Amino acid sequence: MKIRSVTTAAVLVLSFAVAGGMLLLNGLSVLAQDKIIAPGASDEMIDGFFKPFDTNNDRVISYEEFSVKQRSRFAQLDADKNGQLSLDEFTAEVQSKPDKLAKETTRFASLDKNQDGSLTPEEFEAPRRKQFDDMDANCDGQMSWPEFAATVRNKPMPKGC
């Protein structure tokens, strides 16, 4: 039996407390989660989470960089391409799963702030926007490495704006 080579990704495989539960995840799976919490993470590990977001490599994460997945998800769900999501579009993938359908219908209602029965990109991205704004401690519209690291280590910086 051959011993598989140890890749950087494999080195990043660690136990993290994610959203209250202990899960075994590598860096990329952690990025897929809404909450990234790794209290004892080293600078190197945090870099492994930070760099995939920082696509232009300027050592800060802009909101546009932070919300790439949410924007592409919106485009994917917006079947008629009118720039809004109807409940049918929002729940298209869970129509045959009653429990998930109920959950997503509730989520749609909570996202639809003005209760007009459709979601704008702003409504759809509101939870992501809030997450970004919470992490942007100095409110300069950019997520710096220290702001990001503080959140990952579960010691968010105090708001200074």
Taking CB under 5 A as the criterion, the residue among 114, 155, 158, 161 binding Ca ion is: 114
Q: What is the radius of gyration, based on Cα positions, of the chain? A: 18
119/74 Cα distance (integer angstroms): 10
User: Among 82, 140, 156, 159, which residue sits at the site for Ca ion (rule: CB under 5 A)?
Assistant: 140
Amino acid identity of 91? T
Binding range to Ca ion, per CB under 5 A, among 4-12, 23-31, 99-107, 132-140: 132-140
Residues in Cβ contact with 59 at an 8 Å cutoff, skipping those fewer than 6 apart: 144, 145
Residue type (1 letter), 26? N
Find the part of the chain contacting Ca ion (CB under 5 A) among 19-27, 75-83, 93-101, 106-114. 106-114
Angle at alpha carbon of residue 150, lines to 54 and 127, rounded to 5°: 65
Residue 133 CB, shortest distance to Ca ion, in Å, is 10
- Assigned token pair, 36: 């990234």
Site for Ca ion in 51-80 (CB under 5 A): 54, 56, 58
Measured CA to CA in angstroms, residue 62 lies from 84, 103, 136, 142, 144 at distances of 24, 31, 10, 5, 9
Question: Considering the complex, what minimum distance in angstroms separates the CB of residue 77 from Ca ion?
Answer: 14
- Region from 23-31, 35-43, 67-75, 137-145 binding Ca ion, contact rule CB under 5 A: 137-145
Which residues are 24's β-sheet partners? 15
Q: Least CB distance from residue 116 to Ca ion, whole Å?
A: 4
Number of residues that bind Ca ion (CB under 5 A): 11
Kindly state the smallest distance separating residue 125's Cβ from Ca ion, in Å.
12
If one asks whether residue 136 binds Ca ion (CB under 5 A), the answer comes out as yes
The residues of the shown chain that bind Ca ion, judged by CB under 5 A, are 54, 56, 58, 112, 114, 116, 136, 138, 140, 142, 144
